[in-house]
């Protein structure tokens, strides 16, 4: 056990800072054995709060070398250095506080603060990393102007970057040089960044709507020069989009992107100097899949959009994290929807929300999008804060409509520019601009859990009316046994017998078109539609207008009908998933022995349908993932669900063998790779057909896979072929291709990560002994989060059959790795352990074994605060 429980931080204890900082002057000297940071802070007492005589500055793992006040050395009696604080006594109303610290970036394995990644210096300060660089008021409501002078050896570190604009550079003695940067915009310390390295620079430029020219620069290691085009193109598209859709213009003369190999998260929106995990920014057709291209497109946009939603207007405290993250995810997902197929984009977001976020919201870590408390803030960068947060903003958008929403966002940016604010300020701006009352809607910010909507309907032929009743409830979550009803938009349509949308008219109202949005506010509401001449099939929650679980007793025939007729693409897909889920569950529970022929005929029709968007067809044909099936099942039996899912897959593949071959031939690879919706859809269908055929050990498909693997001009097709073979029973071909792949790509870390993940996530290739062998592989590196994620993370998160092996070996393996990683990188260790906290979802024997593994972690003497919080909450 840990010796003392970490402190819980509570929103209700928030107080304004007693001191403010107007200006920060940093001088950072980079050396081979450490770095010296000279900091000068213009500090003054905050006039709007009760004066305090002591100034407390945050600091972690710092060696303090000097403290001065207005240039004078401070005597030892005037200050105290404790574990994580520097206290200055008898602080005057205002003063220049000087602090010199010595830090060791070379030994920084946590990757928070200043660290080294493959020879370059870089920083990560969100959420509380700046205090690992120097003593500071490290809280987002303290906003200061930063001037940063970096000094380093000229040969080793020719490129020295920080936020803002470059204002000075000069050579220094002993082969060193300095570059000085100034950021005119006041910002919290979490947005500070600096980089020093031997990097190549890719230039581009962007002319803003008002005609200013912005230099765009991307900095990468020389071997990655050819992998910048996609990110730069995406950046320019995102800059234009934010001008057009939100009226937001870029505000500095230069915008920089840096790629680093060792990074805890995806990317970081530091002002003017975004830093990316290499895997989220570098791409070429030969090395990155379509999914990676999409990921880069959305993350580049996401970080860029933060310049307004996060930087110009920032968070008052970390409980408000969703203020910037929920809003920015909503913005980037709308951006992505505008680039490709809106429906397919929505399907991907909802799929991830319903699989990962719903699971989080029904587990021990469930929290509202504005949490009330935390032990370690890095644990709250969650799918709830991000994805559910985005859904909440989307609901405001649906309730207000696009024009009023835009008026609300304009007002928000104008009113709060340069401020650190709360989610409530955001909602208030939306209310003030629209005149709508969002009082009840605000419950989404402080109630956790996924609401359930139970739908009942009846048709009365005599009066030609159709009644729909909608009841809402929300299960208890930790600390919240009872929930008040939510306010949500519910879009629906009614399909007539010919499959067309009926004209909708509520009793006593004007006709309202063929799809309408209902306002749900009560525990139970009834809607009566008139002039309905025959019993309709309802198309409920079109476009997934609210993040809720929907219960309606669909018959399989109704689902078949929706699959072929619904005018809402999202709901067509949703019906296909519900049909497949129903069939799989019936098999898993032993209620049915054979795969329902209706599912086969639905898939067959889809394979032959060339009127529908092929990208949508590919999504509709994808069976619900095992993770999603588990999420839906109380007391899940993983093996039974997996076997039922496999039975459906192989029986579909057998029945549709000829159609699948035909689909494969109908979508040949074009001569050159293009990142277009059409080509991506064709690749998705082609690779899906291959995977299905290989699931039944089809020899002819193996030939196709081998030749596709050998001839592919892009990574989507190469990896698609490899994955299909790796997941098949063709053990010899699997090994040959895996060896060949590694031989060819071993010099490229991003591709090696794909190679790890395709094995670690595979039921066939990813057995525990094989996972252990991967961890012994020369390319595996404990210090690199991407490697840890692509082997251990992929095993525990995607290879559910092997992770949940009945003997519990997967669980104790994971516990062991978490314990091993915790001392060097607690943030990643805490993320890795979370699959074990989902034990309530599983049948009792499984749940017991998972808890045993958690207790093993809990028993460690020196657990980090990060891992302690997840494990202790996971056991409660």
Active site residues: 303
CA dihedral 446, 450, 451, 457 (to 10 degrees): 160
For residue 90, count other CB atoms closer than 10 A to its CB.
11
Partner whose binding site includes residue 126, from Zn ion, ligand PHE, none (CB under 5 to 8 Å by kind): ligand PHE
Q: Are 351 and 574 in contact (CB under 8 A)?
A: no
Task: Report the residue number, 265 or 726, with the smaller CB distance to ligand PHE.
Answer: 265
Q: How far is the CB of 8 from ligand PHE (least distance, A)?
A: 20
Total residue length of the chain: 876
Q: How far is the CB of 379 from ligand PHE (least distance, A)?
A: 11
The Cα 681–Cα 669 span in angstroms is 11
**267 interacts with ligand PHE by CB under 6 A:** yes
Residue 144 pairs with which residues in a beta bridge? 187
Q: Are 719 and 687 in contact (CB under 8 A)?
A: no
Window 219-248: residues binding ligand PHE (CB under 6 A): none
Q: How far is the CB of 782 from ligand PHE (least distance, A)?
A: 20
Residue/partner pairs of 672-681 with CB below 8 Å, 24 or more apart: 672/713, 673/285, 673/713, 673/714, 675/230, 675/285, 675/290, 675/293, 677/340, 677/341, 677/344, 677/615, 678/614, 680/290, 680/340, 680/615, 680/716, 681/613, 681/614, 681/615, 681/617, 681/618
* Sole window of 260-268, 418-426, 448-456, 817-825 interacting with ligand PHE (rule: CB under 6 A): 260-268
Partner whose binding site includes residue 265, from Zn ion, ligand PHE, none (CB under 5 to 8 Å by kind): ligand PHE
Q: Give the pair of three-digit tokens for residue 396.
A: 């405001």
Q: Give the pair of three-digit tokens for residue 448.
A: 């956790």
Task: Report the residue number, 377 or 586, with the smaller CB distance to ligand PHE.
Answer: 377
* 337-372 burial: b if 16+ Cβ within 10 Å, else e: bebbbbbbbbbbbbbebbbbbbbbbbbbbbbbbbbb
Task: Report the residue number, 264 or 802, with the smaller CB distance to ligand PHE.
Answer: 264
* Sole window of 262-270, 558-566, 629-637, 688-696 interacting with ligand PHE (rule: CB under 6 A): 262-270
The Cα 163–Cα 255 span in angstroms is 9
The Cα 803–Cα 698 span in angstroms is 28
Spell out, one character per residue from 324 to 363, where the chain touches Zn ion: x when CB under 5 A holds, - when not.
-x--x-----------------------------------
Q: How far is the CB of 338 from Zn ion (least distance, A)?
A: 19
DSSP state of 656: T
Task: Report the residue number, 110 or 642, with the smaller CB distance to ligand PHE.
Answer: 110
Q: How far is the CB of 122 from ligand PHE (least distance, A)?
A: 12
Task: Report the residue number, 180 or 279, with the smaller CB distance to Zn ion.
Answer: 279
Partner whose binding site includes residue 381, from ligand PHE, Zn ion, none (CB under 5 to 8 Å by kind): ligand PHE
Task: Report the residue number, 266 or 496, with the smaller CB distance to Zn ion.
Answer: 266
The residue count for binding Zn ion (CB under 5 A) is 2
Q: How far is the CB of 300 from Zn ion (least distance, A)?
A: 12
Q: How far is the CB of 381 from ligand PHE (least distance, A)?
A: 5
Q: Which residue in 144, 195, 265, 288 binds ligand PHE (CB under 6 A)?
A: 265
Q: How far is the CB of 333 from Zn ion (least distance, A)?
A: 12
Q: Which residue in 269, 317, 568, 866 binds ligand PHE (CB under 6 A)?
A: 269
Task: Report the residue number, 263 or 795, with the smaller CB distance to Zn ion.
Answer: 263
The Cα 115–Cα 539 span in angstroms is 53
DSSP state of 355: I
What ranges make up the beta strands (E) of 450-556?
452-460, 465-473, 488-495, 516-520, 524-529, 537-540, 549-551
Residue 397: C-alpha distances to residues 47, 345, 472, 540 (Å): 38, 17, 21, 19
The Cα 258–Cα 355 span in angstroms is 32
The residue count for binding ligand PHE (CB under 6 A) is 11
Residue 584: C-alpha distances to residues 207, 692, 874 (Å): 54, 17, 29
Q: How far is the CB of 277 from ligand PHE (least distance, A)?
A: 9
Task: Report the residue number, 126 or 659, with the smaller CB distance to ligand PHE.
Answer: 126
Q: Which residue in 381, 441, 675, 868 binds ligand PHE (CB under 6 A)?
A: 381
Partner whose binding site includes residue 267, from ligand PHE, Zn ion, none (CB under 5 to 8 Å by kind): ligand PHE
Quote the Cα angle for 32-36-41, to 5°: 155
Partner whose binding site includes residue 367, from ligand PHE, Zn ion, none (CB under 5 to 8 Å by kind): none
Query: Nearest CA to 677 among 347, 340, 343?
Result: 340
Window 270-329: residues binding Zn ion (CB under 5 A): 325, 328
**789 interacts with ligand PHE by CB under 6 A:** no
Partner whose binding site includes residue 568, from ligand PHE, Zn ion, none (CB under 5 to 8 Å by kind): none
Q: Are 8 and 41 in contact (CB under 8 A)?
A: no
Task: Report the residue number, 314 or 339, with the smaller CB distance to ligand PHE.
Answer: 314
**124 interacts with ligand PHE by CB under 6 A:** yes
Backbone angles phi and psi of 400, in degrees to 5: -90, -25
**348 interacts with ligand PHE by CB under 6 A:** no
**28 interacts with ligand PHE by CB under 6 A:** no
Q: How far is the CB of 125 from ligand PHE (least distance, A)?
A: 8
* Sole window of 121-129, 586-594, 791-799, 808-816 interacting with ligand PHE (rule: CB under 6 A): 121-129
Task: Report the residue number, 265 or 350, with the smaller CB distance to ligand PHE.
Answer: 265
Partner whose binding site includes residue 566, from ligand PHE, Zn ion, none (CB under 5 to 8 Å by kind): none
Query: Nearest CA to 156 among 173, 179, 177, 133?
Result: 177
Q: Which residue in 133, 195, 199, 268 binds ligand PHE (CB under 6 A)?
A: 268
Task: Report the residue number, 298 or 651, with the smaller CB distance to ligand PHE.
Answer: 298
Q: Give the relative orientation of helices 556-565 and 597-608 as an angle to the nearest 10 degrees.
A: 0
Q: Give the pair of three-digit tokens for residue 272.
A: 């003017």
- In the bound state, the residue with its beta carbon closest to ligand PHE is 265
Q: Which residue in 60, 303, 361, 425 binds ligand PHE (CB under 6 A)?
A: 303
Partner whose binding site includes residue 494, from ligand PHE, Zn ion, none (CB under 5 to 8 Å by kind): none
**60 interacts with ligand PHE by CB under 6 A:** no
Q: How far is the CB of 329 from ligand PHE (least distance, A)?
A: 8
Which helix H or strand E contains 736, and what residues bound it? helix 731-745
Q: Are 637 and 630 in contact (CB under 8 A)?
A: no
Q: How far is the CB of 377 from Zn ion (least distance, A)?
A: 14
Quote the Cα angle for 292-296-298, to 5°: 115
Task: Report the residue number, 292 or 814, with the smaller CB distance to ligand PHE.
Answer: 292
327: Cβ contacts below 8 Å, ≥ 6 apart? 309, 389, 390, 393, 426
**126 interacts with ligand PHE by CB under 6 A:** yes
Contacts with Zn ion by CB under 5 A lie at 325, 328
Contacts with ligand PHE by CB under 6 A lie at 124, 126-127, 265, 267-269, 302-303, 325, 381
């Amino acid at each position: 056990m840990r010796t003392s429980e970490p402190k819980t931080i509570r929103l209700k204890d928030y107080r304004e800072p007693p001191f403010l900082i107007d200006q920060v002057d940093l001088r950072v000297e980079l050396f081979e054995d450490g770095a010296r940071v000279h900091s000068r802070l213009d500090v003054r007492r905050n006039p709007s709060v009760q004066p305090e005589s002591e100034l407390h500055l945050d600091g972690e793992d710092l060696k303090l070398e000097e403290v001065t006040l207005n240039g004078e050395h401070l005597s030892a009696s005037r200050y105290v250095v404790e574990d994580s604080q520097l206290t200055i006594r008898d602080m005057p109303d205002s003063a220049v506080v000087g602090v010199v610290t010595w830090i060791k970036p070379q030994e920084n394995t946590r990757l928070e603060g200043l660290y080294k990644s493959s020879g370059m210096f870089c920083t990560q300060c969100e959420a509380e990393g700046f205090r690992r660089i120097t003593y500071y008021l490290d809280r987002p409501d303290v906003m200061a102007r930063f001037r940063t002078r970096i000094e380093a050896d000229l040969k080793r570190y020719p490129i020295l970057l920080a936020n803002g604009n470059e204002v000075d550079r000069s050579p220094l003695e002993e082969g060193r040089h300095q570059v000085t940067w100034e950021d005119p915009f006041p910002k919290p310390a979490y947005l500070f960044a600096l980089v020093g390295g031997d990097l190549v620079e890719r230039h581009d430029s962007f002319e803003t709507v008002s005609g200013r020219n912005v230099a765009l620069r991307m900095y990468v290691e020389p071997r990655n020069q050819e992998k910048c085009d996609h990110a730069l193109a995406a950046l320019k598209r995102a800059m234009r989009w934010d001008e057009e859709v939100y009226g937001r213009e870029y505000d500095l003369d230069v915008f920089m992107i840096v790629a680093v190999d060792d990074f805890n998260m995806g990317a970081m929106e530091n002002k003017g100097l975004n830093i990316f995990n290499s895997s989220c920014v570098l791409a070429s057709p030969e090395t990155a899949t379509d999914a990676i291209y999409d990921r880069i497109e959305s993350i580049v946009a996401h970080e860029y959009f933060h310049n307004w939603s996060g930087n110009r207007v920032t968070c008052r405290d970390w409980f408000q994290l969703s203020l910037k993250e929920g809003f920015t995810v909503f913005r980037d997902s709308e951006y992505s929807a505008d680039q490709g197929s809106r429906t397919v984009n929505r399907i991907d977001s909802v799929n991830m929300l319903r699989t990962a976020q719903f699971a989080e919201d029904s587990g021990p870590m469930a929290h509202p999008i504005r949490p009330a408390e935390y032990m370690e803030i890095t644990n709250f960068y969650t799918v709830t804060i991000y994805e559910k947060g985005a859904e909440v903003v989307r609901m405001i958008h649906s309730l207000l409509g696009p024009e009023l929403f835009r008026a609300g966002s304009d007002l928000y940016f104008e009113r709060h520019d340069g401020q650190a604010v709360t989610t409530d300020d955001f909602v208030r701006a939306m209310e003030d601009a629209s005149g709508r009352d969002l009082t009840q809607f605000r419950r989404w910010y402080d109630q956790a859990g996924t609401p359930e909507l139970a739908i009942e309907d009846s048709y009365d032929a005599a009066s030609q009316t159709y009644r729909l009743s909608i009841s809402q409830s929300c299960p208890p979550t930790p600390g919240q046994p009872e929930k008040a009803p939510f306010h949500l938009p519910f879009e629906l349509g009614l399909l007539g017998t010919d499959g067309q949308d009926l004209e909708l008219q509520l009793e006593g109202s004007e006709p309202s078109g063929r799809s309408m949005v209902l306002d749900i506010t009560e525990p139970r509401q009834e809607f009566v539609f008139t002039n309905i001449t025959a019993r309709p099939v309802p198309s409920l929650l079109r476009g997934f207008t609210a993040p809720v679980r929907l219960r309606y007793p669909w018959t399989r025939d109704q689902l078949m009908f929706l699959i072929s007729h619904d005018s809402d693409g999202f709901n067509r897909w949703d019906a296909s998933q519900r049909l497949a889920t129903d069939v799989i569950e019936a098999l898993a529970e032993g209620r049915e022995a054979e795969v329902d022929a209706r599912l086969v005929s639905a898939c067959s029709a889809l394979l032959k349908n060339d009127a529908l968007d092929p990208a949508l067809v590919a999504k509709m044909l994808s069976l619900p993932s095992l993770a999603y099936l588990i999420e839906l099942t109380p007391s899940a039996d993983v093996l039974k669900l997996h076997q039922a899912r496999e039975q459906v897959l192989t029986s579909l593949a057998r029945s549709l063998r000829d159609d699948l071959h035909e689909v494969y031939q109908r979508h040949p690879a074009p001569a050159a790779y293009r990142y277009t919706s059409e080509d991506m859809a064709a690749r998705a269908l082609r690779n899906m057909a291959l995977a299905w055929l290989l699931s039944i050990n089809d020899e002819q498909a193996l030939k196709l896979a081998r030749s596709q693997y050998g001839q592919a001009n892009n990574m989507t097709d190469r990896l698609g072929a490899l994955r299909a073979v790796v997941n098949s029973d063709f053990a010899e071909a699997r090994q040959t291709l895996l060896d060949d792949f590694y031989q060819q790509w071993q010099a490229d870390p991003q591709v090696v990560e794909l190679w790890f993940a395709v094995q670690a996530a595979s039921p066939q290739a990813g057995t525990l002994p094989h996972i252990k062998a991967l961890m012994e592989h020369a390319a595996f590196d404990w210090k690199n989060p991407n490697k840890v994620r692509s082997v251990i993370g992929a095993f525990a998160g995607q290879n559910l059959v092997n992770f949940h092996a009945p003997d519990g070996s997967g669980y104790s393996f994971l516990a062991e790795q978490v314990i091993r990683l915790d001392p060097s990188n607690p943030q990643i260790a805490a993320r890795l352990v979370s699959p074990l906290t989902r034990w309530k979802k599983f049948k009792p024997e499984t749940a017991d074994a998972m808890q045993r593994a958690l207790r093993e972690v809990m028993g460690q003497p020196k657990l980090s605060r990060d891992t302690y919080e997840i494990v202790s909450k996971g056991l409660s």
